[in-house]
Amino acid sequence: MKKIHIAEDEVEIAELLSTFFKRKGFEVSTSKTAEEAMKMISHEIPDFAILDLYLEGHKSGFEILKFIKEKYPSIKTIVASGIMDDPVKDLLNGQEPDICLKKPYSLEDLSKSIDKLS
């Protein structure tokens, strides 16, 4: 069974994504903060990670992306944010996700992105 981790601080979005991917046969884990995400990813390495760039807490999705790319480069990453302009892309600091999605995105777009990375 493929595993997916969702780092999203908006509870409704996290629940919607979790339900969607469970129905598609994925094992799903979720986190609301970057610190929690990095701990969970280290404990059980997923195949995919969907990261909101702006999360609650002291760290953000930028730090999660860097953590994944440095320690677990086999994890396929999708970054989602309501802001995907040049300054945000500059903040990625060379840590390129596999796919960037601008919020709001459709579940169909997200599903196609996962299929593309599979």
- Is residue 100 scored above 70 in pLDDT? yes
Q: Which residue has the tokens 């970057």?
A: 34
Look at residue 113 and tell me whether its pLDDT is greater than 60: yes
Predicted TM-score (pTM) above 0.95? no
If you search the block for the tokens 């997923």, which residue do you land on? 46
Is the pLDDT at 86 greater than 60, yes or no? no
Distance CA 65, CA 12 (A): 22
CB 110 within 8 A of CB 78: yes
- DSSP alpha helix (H) spans, the chain: 11-23, 34-43, 61-71, 86-91, 107-117
Average pLDDT of span 9-31: 96
How much is the pLDDT for 96? 81
Q: What pLDDT does 93 receive?
A: 61
Name which of 18, 49, 16, 56 is nearest 34 in CA terms. 56
Q: In CATH, what number does 3-117 get? A: 3.40.50.2300
Residue 54 has pLDDT above 90, yes or no: no
> Average pLDDT over the chain, rounded to whole?
89
More confident residue, 104 or 74: 74
3-class state of residue 16 by DSSP: helix
The helix/strand/coil state of 70 is: helix
34 pLDDT above the threshold of 60: yes
pLDDT attached to residue 94: 63
pLDDT of residue 1: 93
Instruction: Name the pLDDT band for 11 (thresholds 50, 70, 90).
Output: very high
